[in-house]
Amino acid sequence: MQKTSDKILHAALTLMQDKGFQAVSIKEIAQQADVSEMTVFRHFKTKMGVFESAVEKFSYIPYFEEIFSNQIVWDLEKDLTLIAKSYFDSMNKNRAIFLIAIQERSDFPELNHVIVKNTMQLKNLIIAYFTSMQEKNQMKETNAEAQAIIFLTTLYGYFSSTSLWKDHFLHEWEESFLTNTIQLFCEALKK
Amino acid sequence: MQKTSDKILHAALTLMQDKGFQAVSIKEIAQQADVSEMTVFRHFKTKMGVFESAVEKFSYIPYFEEIFSNQIVWDLEKDLTLIAKSYFDSMNKNRAIFLIAIQERSDFPELNHVIVKNTMQLKNLIIAYFTSMQEKNQMKETNAEAQAIIFLTTLYGYFSSTSLWKDHFLHEWEESFLTNTIQLFCEALKK
DNA sequence: TAAAAATGTTAGTTATCACTAACTCTCATT
DNA sequence: AATGAGAGTTAGTGATAACTAACATTTTTA
């Protein structure tokens, strides 16, 4: 059986990813977790305490460098697939925090760092990868940074739209979206 | 000089695009608009009334069909530029509503329609455009819908990330992002 | 300039919310 | 059987927010 504090944190994140931090009351969290309000306060002192514990527990720091140093095979299609999947993987694990960060961006701008830092790091790795691929003569000589930004923006666009608007938006399944996107980039960039 | 009710609506939208509907108080709106709380209530009855009037006043319905029927020249680069600029133009005009829609999506799911409807409409027009281009033998024979979705997702990703995370994210200027993106798509899709 | 319309001021109502305090209940361990 | 930890219950405090009512003041207009 689940520990009480875990139940509370899970309930809090579940509610906050839909409504944000300040729009969710302790009462709601307690109901969702099936405990009394007092139990929540006893475990976490304040509402902010619940939130901070939840972020700490559920935020995920991806290790893109390892992936890059171990699994890159210098084949554009395979490598872009790997990169894209790693990105989706890390963003999916941080989905709740991503959604809360959006909603509370004016009150807790620090939260953005979790998301922004990951993305910037990946961006730099992709730039380095593209540069290497150009040196290996496997990619056309275009602006590596610009291509990296476009690639990441596309991935971000997919993740963001499916997270925020559920399937009511452009709805294509992740797998097929990914295949088509990578094919497009390969078509444009491969030498 | 600006009418009082316009001042209020403008203040409300300005505040709500950062914090959302329910996190902004009438007091804040009144201060921002430099009127008294009572004036706000006298003009709009309820807080919800302020919001509804603001949405009605500032939501923008783009006329993509007209653009497509008048300004398309059947040159992939020129046409994609036109399409992308029209998209950014309409989204920029709806930026405040877009940001509020995100924040209040669990309470006012109807709001999404303004954004989703525009995007879906544009998507269908792009699919039709790609199909025609293929028939004219100016584009490779790929899945038109998939390409349209990728193109729109990329544009959405740029708009969404710059709107939400200001310049702290992938920061490339709209103009150069657009040029590079369209060049990539042309490289991949042109025959 | 006088009436009318718009806005300000002040005080108050009701509801909700974060949080506290004091007390009770349950149940596993010894 | 006694203890103590974890959880529930109830009542309450102080703050804030939406909204109302009554009256005063300013601005616009005829």
CA distances to A21, A39, B17 from A14, rounded to whole Å, are: 11, 18, 24
Residue whose CA lies closest to nucleotide C16 C1': A25
Q: Is the pLDDT of residue A1 over 60?
A: no
Q: How far is B1 from chain A (nearest CA, A)?
A: 31
Which among B157, B176, B189 has CB closest to A156?
Answer: B157
Shortest CA distance from A102: residue in chain B: B164
Is it the case that residue A191 has pLDDT exceeding 90? no
Looking at the fold, whether B170 and B95 belong to one and the same domain comes out as: yes
Same domain flag for B20 and B109:
no
Q: The CATH number of the domain where A29 resides is what?
A: 1.10.10.60
Which of B13, B32, B54 lies at the terminal end of a domain, its last residue? B54
- Which residues of chain B lie closer than 8 angstroms to A80, CB-CB? none
Domain boundary (A54, A78, A93) is at A54
Range of the structural domain that residue A148 is part of: 58-189
pLDDT of residue B167: 64
Residue B35 CA distance to nucleotide D13 C1' (Å)? 33
The verdict on A14 and A64 lying in the same domain is no
Positive/negative CA dihedral, A64, A18, A13, A105: positive
- Indicate if A86 and A180 belong to the same structural domain: yes
Q: Residue B53 CA to C8 C1' — how many Å?
A: 23
Q: What is the CATH number of the domain that holds B88?
A: 1.10.357
The last residue of a domain, from among B54, B80, B95: B54
CB contact under 8 A, B119 and A188: no
A48 touches chain B (CB under 8 A): no
Asked if B158 and A157 come within 8 Å (Cβ–Cβ), the reply is yes
**Residues of A in Cβ contact (< 8 Å) with B188:** 184-185, 187-188
- B87-125 pLDDT, tens digit per residue, is 999 999 999 999 999 999 999 999 998 889 999 999 999
Chain A contacts in chain B segment 68-87 (CB below 8 A):
none
- Residue range A104-122: mean pLDDT, rounded: 92
Mean pLDDT to the nearest integer, A100-129: 94
Q: Counting beta carbons within 10 angstroms of the beta carbon of residue A70, is it exposed (0 to 12), middle (13 to 18) or buried (19 or more)?
A: exposed
Cβ-nearest to B153 among A18, A123, A154: A154
Q: In the block, which residue shows the tokens 């992308």?
A: B84
A117 in contact with B, Cβ within 8 Å: no
Check whether B189 has a pLDDT greater than 60.
Answer: yes
For the stretch B45-81, pLDDT in tens is 999 999 999 999 999 999 999 999 999 999 999 999 9
Asked whether residue A136 falls in the same domain as residue A185, the answer is yes
CB-based contact B111:B97 (threshold 8 Å): yes
Secondary structure of A3-29 in HEC code, one letter for each residue: CHHHHHHHHHHHHHHHHCCCCCCHHHH
* Chain centroid offset of residue B122 CA: 12
Is it the case that residue A15 has pLDDT exceeding 70? yes
Question: What is the identity of the amino acid at A103?
Answer: Q
Model confidence at B1: pLDDT above 70? no
Residue type, position B81, single letter = T
Residues B41 and B102 in one domain: no
- The reply to whether B174 and B97 lie within a common domain is yes
CA of A22 to C1' of C17 (A): 10
- pTM of the entire predicted model: 0.95
User: Do residues A50 and A64 both lie within one domain?
Assistant: no
Report pLDDT digits (tens) over B3-40. 999 999 999 999 999 999 999 999 999 999 999 999 99
- Contact between A23 and B23 using a beta-carbon 8 Å cutoff: yes
Distance CA B179, CA B182 (A): 5
As beta bridge partners, residue B190 has B139
Which residue is nearest to the C1' sugar atom of D21, using CA?
B38
Of A146, A155, A188, the CB nearest to B187: A188
Same-domain status, B99 and B149: yes
Residue type, position A88, single letter: F
Same domain membership, residue A180 and residue A160: yes
Chain C nucleotides near the protein (CB, 7 A): 6-10, 16-22
What CA–CA distance (Å, rounded) separates B68 from B79? 9
The answer to whether the CB atoms of A147 and B180 lie below 8 A apart is yes
Chain A span 143-182 residues with beta carbon within 7 Å of strand C:
none
Same domain (yes/no): B113, B183: yes
The number of folded domains in chain A is: 2
Say if residue B20 is in the same domain as residue B95: no
Q: How far apart are CA B123 and CA B155, in angstroms?
A: 12
Please name every residue paired with A139 in a beta bridge, in sequence order, or none if there are none.
Answer: A190
Contact A119, A91 (CB under 8 A): no
User: B170 and A152: CB-CB below 8 Å?
Assistant: yes
